[in-house]
Structure 1
Amino acid sequence: MSRLEKNVPLRRSSQNLKTSTTKTQSLRSKKWREQMLAYIFLTPSLLLFGTFLFYPLIKSVYLSLYLTDPRGRVALFVGLNNFVELVTNEKFFQSLIVTLSFTLLTVPTAIFLALLLAALTHNKIRGMKLFQFVFSLPLIIATGTGSVIWTMLYHPTSGMLNYVLTLVGLQPIHWLTDPAWALVAVAIMTIWMDLGFKYILLLGGLKGVSEEIYDSAKIDGSNPKRTFFHITLPMISPTLFFVGIVSVIQAFQTFGQIDVLTKGGPMYKTEVIVFNIYNDAFVNFQFGSGSAQALVLFAIILILTIIQFRFAERKVHYQ
């Protein structure tokens, strides 16, 4: 074998190596261009998140370490003292208890009513579109507008609710000024306001269940009650799980209806934690204390969300 013939495999190997190297570089260059293009498309969203989410969060952490003067300017570094004072602040714990009570009053009730209405109206029966439209209407009403409407309904003398109570022989209720009824009144208004959003989500979940599953259940002799609890609920459990998490977060962030209906009264019976933060930060200009409370609220919501994912997600049936 000649020397030229011996060098042929070496040349082929060298050419294959160069081809492989070129392809690798081309793939890396293509991947780099795709990543840069992705970052370019994400830039507007990142700017919005940075402006309205990340910067306020970092600013809250910064302010929580300081005391501020009556004009809201940073005055003195106190470290974690703002957080330590929350432990002995009875008003903060009272607002936290009010928030938990408000959550327990609104979240389960709203989900139950939305699920009930969705189950009654998801069938393809003539006229159901009208009911679906009516039950979805609260979604388009702003919190301030809804609060004004319910303020008139709760009026002690000219309100419709007390008028109905007098018709059935009951005494009128001072809905927004009675400490025993104020939180319940705000909860009723909140349930009505949130009903449209939850109803639409659960109705969509019910419509996503295949009719073939119901037909198979009928053939097997399953009654409507058994079908609902053993087939429908497991099939819409992802939607229920999502609605539950969002509802808890919304309940802990409630502010608008409290501000319009009761201003946290009477006797602080409706002063939820967000309203307490608002008073400390924007009324009393104690931005340090308000920021500390906001971070504690963030931690509480985060912990509750993790707990829900840790335990409630076990019962979620993903198709």
Structure 2
Amino acid sequence: MLKSPASNPTAGVHSADTQAKIEASEKTFSLNAKDKYYAWLFLGPSLLILGVFIFYPMFRTLYLSLFLTNTVGKPTVFVGLQNYVNLLTSADYLNSLLVTMVYVLGVTAATIVLGLLLANLASKQLAGIGIFRTLFSATMGVSVSVAAIFWLFIFNPSTGFLALMSTWLHLPVIPWLTNSTWAMIAVIITTVWMNLGFTFLILFGAIQSVPRTLYEAASIEGASSRFQFFHITIPSISPTLFFVSIVTLIEGFKSFGLIDLMTKGGPTNATNMLVYRIYKDAFYSGNFSQASAESLILTVIIALFTLLQFKVLEKRVNY
């Protein structure tokens, strides 16, 4: 026999609870819609800046790479992928690609190794180590132009510090900036010196966060300093090493200022990196379509190298 709502004393309570839940749900929906409005309000300026300075130039570059352009960068004739084909079959461009790879790998390896060694040394409790910590990280405050002038003086073949030292030691003077091989070594040395401060500081902070008890236990067991470095320090800071390797690699591909001020891509295009080549093709030759294609190729190369690092190095990271 069915009971009427009046005969069921709990029916009114259940109905009131249901109504309250509906009202609460509607209020929550209203608040969520309001929150979304405020979210778009606060994100708007950032999205506008990203759109104007990141996304629009990116799509504009892709667009220009599919055309021939005049000297002021306006597209004239649609050529599709022909700009890419011309670049990838050009011996001059392939030479720039090879030069860039040598430079980037040299800078990345030297910066990480030296930064790690200096950070490990600076973490020791030695007299006056604070002075060395300051010196090792001081290059972070040096601008590219100042660094270029400083190293140009050192590499000067007649009055430079290295030339004077060679003369004093009765050694042949090395043509640092006029020989293809030595010019590459010179810009690698300069770039490593510029990047070393940041790398040192990041790795030093990571080493300082490693628990001292691990080293104390290893010392009690008779482990050498070398064993502790390779089996405690490096595994413990592997996430930081992974981060530093990615940042250093990307910065290596983006190097421009030192090349422009020290060698201008010479001698005989020995230091004509991809970024500097883009600059010369766009603003010296007025070939904006080719420069756009080169920019996109460089973007793909950086993405592939970064992906490769994630695939290979991340497996060795201990979180």
TM-score range, shorter chain: over 0.9
Pick which of 47-56 and 2-11 moved more. Answer: 2-11
Corresponding residue number in structure 1 for 2:203: 202
Residue type of the alignment partner of 2:183? A
Distance 2:45 2:296 in 1: 27
User: What does 1:11-160 align with in structure 2 at a 5 Å threshold?
Assistant: 11-160=12-161
Aligned to 1:276: 277
Q: CA separation of 1:2/1:178 partners in 2, compared to 1, >3 Å: closer, same or farther?
A: closer
Q: TM-score, normalised by structure 2?
A: 0.94
Give the C-alpha shift of residue 93 in structure 1.
0.7
2:157 and 2:176 in contact (8 A); partners too: yes
How far has the Cα of 1:65 moved from its partner? 1.2
Q: Which amino acid aligns with 1:146?
A: A
**Higher alpha-carbon deviation: 80-89 or 227-236:** 80-89
Deviations 1:215-249 (A, max 9, x none): 22223332211111111100100111011011111
Q: What is the CA–CA distance in structure 1 between the aligned matches of 2:37 and 2:94, rounded to whole Å?
A: 48
Asked if structure 1 preserves the Cα contact closer than 8 Å seen for 2:71 and 2:288, the reply is no
Cα offset for 1:103?
A: 1.3
Correspondence 1:183-198 to 2 at 5 A: 183-198=184-199
**CA-CA distance at 1:126 after TM superposition:** 4.1
Contact 2:265 2:272 in 1 (8 A): yes
The number of residue pairs the alignment matches comes to: 318
In the TM superposition, what are the counterparts of 1:226-305 in structure 2 within 5 Å? Answer: 226-305=227-306
SS in 2 for 1:106: helix
CA deviations over 1:262-310 (Å, ceiling 9, x no partner):
1111111110111111111111111111000100100010011111111
In structure 2, distance between residues paired with 1:4 and 1:16? 15
SS at match of 1:221: coil
Name the aligned partner's letter for residue 238 of structure 2: S
Q: Which moved more, 1:27-36 or 1:66-75?
A: 27-36
How many Å separate the matches in 1 of 2:127 and 2:255?
A: 38
Q: Which amino acid aligns with 2:50?
A: F
In the aligned structure 1, how far is the partner of 2:19 from the partner of 2:76? 66
Is the deviation greater in 14-23 or in 250-259?
A: 14-23
Tell me, what secondary structure is at the counterpart of 1:250? helix
Q: Identify which range, 36-45 or 95-104, moves more after superposition.
A: 36-45
Matched residues in 2 for 1:39 and 1:71: separation? 37
Aligned to 2:215: 214
Once residues 28 and 194 of structure 1 are traced to their aligned partners in structure 2, the CA distance between those partners, rounded to angstroms, is: 51
Structure 1 range deviating more: 19-28 or 99-108: 19-28
Aligned Cα RMSD in Å? 1.7
Aligned 8 A contact 2:136 2:200 in 1: yes
Percent identity (aligned): 38
User: Relative to structure 2, which stretch is displaced further, 186-195 or 69-78?
Assistant: 69-78
Cα-to-partner distance string for 1:123-156 (whole Å, 9 max, x where unaligned): 3444222111111111111112111111111111
Distance (Å, rounded) in 2 between the aligned partners of 1:78 and 1:258: 32
Q: 2:66–2:81: 8 Å Cα contact kept in structure 1?
A: yes
Which segment drifts farther, 160-169 or 107-116?
160-169
How far is the alpha carbon of 1:23 from its aligned partner?
A: 2.0
